[in-house]
A and B are shown apart, each in its own frame.
Chain A
Amino acid sequence: MSMRVQKALATLLGIVVVGILAGIYVTSLTGGPTPYRVPVAAAAGGRSVNLTIQTVAAVGPKLAPNANWVSYLVREHGIWHRSTVWTLPANSLIHVTVYQFDGKSGLRNPFLAQARGLVGDAFTLNGKSLSTINPDDASHTFAIPQLGVLVPLAGVADDAENQCDVAPCPLSTAHNTITFTFRTGKKGHYRWQCFVPCAAGFYYGFGGPMQTIGYMDGFVNVV
C-alpha cells in the first residue's frame, strides 16, 4: 500500500472518529431523562385532560441518577415516570391531582401560600376546598408563571405514620391529596416549577433538583 493511500485512510479514519465522538457528544446533550410526554389522552370529544402527579422527598435509585433528590413524578397509563416535560392541549381545562408525599418545609415568602390562576380560584386539600394554606405547612408549590398558575402544596406532618421511603410512593403511605383545575391558553412552551427552595442539603435549598429539569421544574408544552 502506497504512502499516499495510507495517509488517505488515516485521514478518513480520523474524520470518522471525530464524527463519531461529536455525534456521541451532541446526542448526550439532546437526550436525557425528560422526554416529552402526554400524561393522559384527552377525553373523547372533550377539551379537558387529567394530569396526575406526585411529589416525593427522594426519587430513589430506580428512577433517577440522583437518588436522594426531591422530585415530581407523573403518571401515564397507570405507571409513574420521572418526567417534568408534559404535553397538554391548548385552550383546555387541565384537572390536576397531586399526591403530596413530602414533609413540611414552610414558605420563605408567605405570598406563595395564596392560590392563583385556578378555575374557581380554589383547590381541594384532602377533599376540603381552600384558597390558601398556612405558609408553615407548605412543602412545595406548583407554579406556571406565564399562565398565572400557583398552587401551594401542603406537606405531610412530621409525625405521620407509614411515611413513604422509596419513590414512586404508593397511596397506602402517608400523603395529602390536592386537586385543582386550570385552563391552558394558546399554544406555547411554558416553564413550570416549584418555588419553595426544597433541595435539602444545598445552600438555601436552591441547588441540584431545584435547577435541574426532571426534578422540581420542567416545561408544559401546550399544543
Chain B
Amino acid sequence: MNFRRLLGYNLLTAFVLGIVGFYVGWWLGHQFSGPSIAYFADTGQNDIALFLAYLVGLIGFLSGLGFASYPIQRLLGKPPSLREKETAGTGRYFTLCTDHKVVGMQYLIGIGAFIFVGGLNAMLIRFELLSPTKQTFNANNYLTIVGLHGTMMMGMMTSGILGPFANYFLPIMIGARRMAFPRIEALTFWLLMVAGVILMTTVGYGGFPTGWTGYAPLNDQANMGMDSYIVFFALVGLSMSLLGLNMIATVVTMRAPGMAWGRLPIFVWSVIATSVLMLLAAPVLISTLLMVALDRTAQTGFFNAQAGGSPYLYQNLFWIFGHPEVYILALPGMGILLEILPVFARKPLWGYRLAVTGMLGISLLSWLVWQHHLFVSGINADLRPFYMLSTELISLPTGFIFICALGTLWQGRIRFTVPMLFALAWLFNFLIGGLSGVFLSDVPSDVTTHGSFFSMAHFHYTIMGGLLFSFFAAIYFWVPKMTGYAINERFGKIHFWTMFIAFNSTFGPLLVIGFLGMPRRAVTYAGYLHGGNTWVSISAFFLGGSMLVFVGNFVWSQVFARVPVGANPWASKSIEWQLPSPVPVHNFDRIPTFGADPYPYGDGDGAGDSTAPRVVTAPARPRP
C-alpha cells in the first residue's frame, strides 16, 4: 500500500486533524478560569470550550485538505503550486481542487446530502404534527428539529445554485478557464461542509430552541447546542461572502474578448445581483453572531437587556442580513428560469435589459424592507408605512421578471421537457408566494398572520417553490453537460408531477391553516386544526416520496444506465453547450471571442434550427 498517499492532503488526513483539533480546542477552553468565568461553573456548560473546539477543529480539517500549504509555501519563499488536483480521476472530488468544475460537482453532491437531512427533518416535523397532542418528540427536541430544518435549508441553499451551477458554468459562460480565486472557490465549499456537520452536532449538546432566526434573549439562555448554530451560520456567512466576492471578481476581470456587459447571459446577471447581496449581507450576519458568541462566552451584553443591551437590536441586525438572504435564495432561481425559457421556447429572451433591471432592482430594494419582519416587535409606528410601501415596491422589479418570462413564452414553440416543466412551475409557485407575501407586507394583515403557518407557507412557496424548483430545473438542464450522461426523462416527469402536486397540496392548505390560527414552532395545537394538519402531513410524505423518485432516477441514470447525451441535447445556443460533455479540464482549446447577443433563437426553424454558437474562436491566450 502506498502510505504516502494516505498521509498526504486528503479527506482522511482532514478528518484526523479535524478531530484532533476539536479535542485540542476543547482542552484549551477548559484552561480558562477566573471569576468572570464562574458562569460556567454555575451552569455546567463551557461555551468557550465548544467554540474553541469547533474553531481549532476547523483549522485542523482545512489544513488536512491542504489549505495551509499555499500560504506556508509563500512564507517560506518557495514556489507554491498554482493548481491543485486539476487532473482527471475520482480522487480530486474528495480534496482541495482548484478546477471550478470539480468544485461545482462537489457542491452539487454536498449540498444535496444536506438538503436530504433538511428534508428528513421536515418529514419528522410533519410526523409529529399528525396528532395535536400526542408527542413522538418532546417539546425541546421538536424545536430543535424545526430549527435544524430551517437553519440547514436556509444556510445550505444560499449556495444551492451558485455553488454547483455558477461555479461550474459561470467561467465557461464568460469564456474563462477558471475562477478569479480558485483556492477561495474550493474553500467556500469545504467551509460549507464543515458548517453542516457542526450544525448536526447540536443534537449532542441539547439542541437549540430558537428556530433559524436565533432571536435574543433565547440565544443567550440556550444550551450549548446554540453554539453549534452560531458557528454554523458564521461559517455559512463566511462561505457566502467569499463566494460572492469570487463571482464578482471573476465576471469583472475575466470576461473573454467581446463579452460586453450587454452580452452576459442572464444567468450571469442573476449571479452578479446575488453576489452583491452575499458580499454585503453576510458580514452583517457574521458580526451579529460574533456578538452573540461574546454574550455567551465573555459575558458582554450586546443583546442582554439587563446589562444595557437590546434583544430588539438582534432582530434588526439579523433581518438586515435576513431579508437580502431571501433574495439571495430567489435571484438565482430567476436567472435559471430566464436562461431555460429561451432554449425551450425557441425564442430570444424577451426584455433582456428589463430583466437585468429587475434583478438589480430587487438587489437594491431588498436592503430597504427588513423592518417588515418586525411589525409586531415594537417598531416605531411611524416607520411602519415606509417599510410597508418599500416591501410592496419590490413587487415591481419582481414583476419585470414575470413579464420577461411571459414575453419569452409568448408565441414560442414550447417543448415541455423536464427542465422546462420545472421552470414553468416556478412561475406558478412564485406567483402564489408573491401574492401571499402582500398580506405579510401590509401592516394590518401582518399583525394577524405574523408567526402563523400562513407566514411559513408563504415563504415555502417562494423559497421551495422558487429556489428548489429552479434547482431541479438546473439539475435536469445542466447535469447532462456536467457528467455527459442523460437523466431519464420519463422518471423525471414522474418526479416533477408528484413533486408539483404534493408541494401545492402541502403548502396551499397551510395558508388556510395559518389563517385559522395555527402557530409556528408549537408542538401541540388546537383540535379543530387536526384534519387540516393530517392532510398536510400526508401530502408532505408524498412530497418526500417524490424526492426519492428523483434520487433513484439520478443514481440509475448517472451510475447504471449512463446514456451519453452528446454535446448539445437541448439545441441550446449558449456557449457551454458548444463544448463536449462533460466539459474538458481546460474548458476551451482556445479562448473564445464573443460577437453576438446571448440568445439568438428564432433564426431557424424551431427545435431543429441552427445551433451555431454566437462565438468565434481566436488564438488562445497563454495559460497563466
Chain A contact residues, CB within 8 Å of chain B: 4, 7-8, 11, 18, 22, 25-26, 28-30, 32, 34, 66-69, 85, 188-189, 191, 199-204, 206-208, 210-213, 219
On chain B, the residues within 8 Å of A191 by CB distance are 139
B563 interface hit (Cβ, 8 Å): no
Contact of A68 among B41, B134, B140, B222 (CB under 8 A): B41
Contact status B43-A207, CB under 8 Å: yes
Which 10 residue pairs of A and B lie closest in terms of their CB atoms, listed nearest first? A201-B42, A207-B221, A68-B44, A201-B43, A189-B133, A29-B141, A203-B220, A66-B44, A213-B138, A206-B221
Contact with A along B213-230 (1 / 0, CB 8 A): 000011011110000000
A135 to B462, CA, bound (A): 51
Q: Are A208 and B223 in contact (CB under 8 A)?
A: yes
A189 and B45 contact, Cβ closer than 8 Å, known pairs A4-B560, A28-B203: no
Beyond A22-B120, A66-B45, A69-B44, whether A213 also contacts B139 by CB under 8 A is yes
B124 near A202 with CB under 8 A, answer no
Q: Does B559 contact A (CB under 8 A)?
A: yes
**Do residues B559 and A7 form an inter-chain contact, with CB atoms below 8 A?**
yes
A residues less than 8 Å from B145 (CB atoms): 29
Q: Which of B137, B138, B218 contacts A85 (CB 8 A)?
A: B138
Can you name 13 A-B residue pairings with CB atoms under 8 Å?
A18-B116, A22-B120, A29-B141, A32-B141, A66-B45, A85-B138, A201-B41, A203-B304, A204-B306, A207-B222, A208-B45, A211-B222, A212-B206
Residues of B within 8 A of A11 (CB): 555, 559
Residues of B within 8 A of A7 (CB): 559-560
Instruction: Kindly state whether residue B144 has any CB partner on chain A within 8 Å.
Output: yes
A207 with B220: in contact, given A7-B560, A66-B44 (CB under 8 Å)? yes
- A199 → B minimal CB distance (Å): 8
A69 contacts across to B, CB distance below 8 A: 43-44
Q: Are B135 and A189 in contact (CB under 8 A)?
A: yes
Query: Which residues of B have CB within 8 Å of A210?
Result: 221
13 further A-B contacts with Cβ under 8 Å, apart from A202-B43, A202-B220, are: A25-B203, A68-B44, A201-B41, A203-B220, A203-B306, A204-B217, A207-B221, A208-B45, A210-B221, A212-B206, A212-B223, A213-B138, A213-B140
Question: In the complex, which residue of chain A has the Cβ closest to the Cβ of B304?
Answer: A203
For A8, A22, A28, A211, which residue has the most chain B Cβ atoms within 10 angstroms?
Answer: A211
B contact residues, total (Cβ < 8 Å): 37
A84 to chain B, nearest CB (A): 10
A4 / chain B contacts, CB cutoff of 8 Å? 560
Given contacts A22-B120, A212-B223, whether A30 and B136 have CB atoms under 8 Å apart is yes
B-side residues, CB < 8 A to A, are 39-45, 116, 120, 124, 133-141, 144-145, 200, 203, 206, 209, 217-218, 220-223, 304, 306, 524, 555, 559-560
A203–B120 touching, CB < 8 Å: no
Q: In the bound complex, how far is the Cα of B43 from the Cα of A208, in angstroms?
A: 8
A189 to B221, CA, bound (A): 26
Which residues of B have CB within 8 Å of A219? Answer: 135, 138
Cα(A69)–Cα(B44), bound, Å: 7
CA distance A7 to B559 in the complex (A): 7
* Residues of chain A lying within 8 A (CB to CB) of residue B133: 188-189
A202 vs B220: C-alpha distance when bound (angstroms): 8
**A30 is contacted by which of B41, B137, B200, B209 (Cβ under 8 Å)?**
B137
A103 shortest CB reach to chain B, Å:
14
CB pair A189 B222 closer than 8 Å: no
Q: How far is the CB of A65 from chain B (nearest CB, A)?
A: 8
Q: Compute how far the CA of A126 lies from the CA of B512 in the bound complex, rounded to whole angstroms.
A: 54
User: Which chain B residue has the least Cβ–Cβ distance from A59?
Assistant: B44
- The one of A29, A203, A204 that contacts B137, using a Cβ cutoff of 8 Å: A29
The docked-state distance in angstroms from the alpha carbon of A18 to that of B304 is 42
| B200 contact set on A, CB distance < 8 A | 25
CB within 8 Å for A25 and B120 given contacts A32-B138, A68-B42:
yes
Report which of B42, B124, B141, B560 forms a contact with A200, defined as CB distance below 8 A.
B42
B223 touches A189 (CB 8 A): no
B35 to chain A, nearest CB (A): 13
* Chain B: minimal CB distance from A34 (Å): 6
The minimal Cβ–Cβ distance linking B17 to chain A, given in whole angstroms, is 23
A211 near B304 with CB under 8 A, answer no
Chain B residues, Cβ within 8 Å of A208: 43, 45, 221-223
Task: Given the known inter-chain contacts A7-B559, A68-B42, A212-B223, please indicate yes or no for A203 contacting B217, CB distance below 8 A.
Answer: yes
Question: Least Cβ distance of B289 to chain A in Å?
Answer: 17
B226 to chain A, nearest CB (A): 9
Residues in A neighbouring B304, C-beta threshold 8 A: 203
B44 cross-chain contacts in A, Cβ below 8 A? 66-69
Residues of B within 8 A of A66 (CB): 43-45
Q: Would you give the shortest CB distance from A77 to chain B, in whole angstroms? A: 23
Most chain A C-beta atoms within 10 Å of own C-beta, residue among B39, B138, B223, B559:
B138
Query: B120 contacts A29, CB within 8 Å?
Result: no
| Bound CA–CA A26/B559 (angstroms) | 29
A34 near B138 with CB under 8 A, answer: yes
- Give every chain B residue within 8 A of A29 (Cβ-Cβ): 124, 137, 141, 144-145, 203
Q: Which residues of B contact A206 (CB under 8 A)?
A: 217, 221
Please give me the residue from chain A that is nearest to B220 by CB atom: A203
Give the complex CA separation of A213 and B200 in angstroms: 20
The distance in angstroms between the C-alpha atoms of A213 and B206, with both chains bound, is 11
A7 and B40 alpha carbons, distance in the complex (Å): 51
Known: A202-B221, A203-B306. A212 touches B140 (CB 8 A): yes
Residue of A nearest to B218 (CB): A211
**How far in angstroms is the closest Cβ of chain B from A10?**
8
Residue of A nearest to B555 (CB): A11
CA–CA, A203 and B296, complex, Å: 10
B145 to chain A, nearest CB (A): 6
- The answer to whether A68 and B43 touch across the interface, beta carbons within 8 angstroms, is yes
User: Shortest beta-carbon distance, A36 to chain B, in Å?
Assistant: 10
Q: Which A residues are CB-close (under 8 A) to B222?
A: 207-208, 211
> Which residues of the partner chain A approach B209 to less than 8 Å between Cβ atoms?
211
Q: Could you tell me the distance in whole angstroms from the C-beta of A60 to the nearest C-beta in chain B?
A: 10
CA distance A207 to B216 in the complex (A): 12
In the bound complex, residues from chain B placing their C-beta under 8 Å from that of A68 are: 41-44
- Which of A66, A189, A203 has the largest count of B CB atoms less than 10 A from its CB? A203
Closest chain A CB from B340 CB (angstroms): 30
- Min distance, Cβ B87 to any Cβ of chain A, angstroms: 22
With a CB–CB cut-off of 8 A, which chain A residues contact B139?
Answer: 191, 213
Please measure, in the bound complex, the distance between the C-alpha atom of A80 and the C-alpha atom of B124, giving whole angstroms: 32
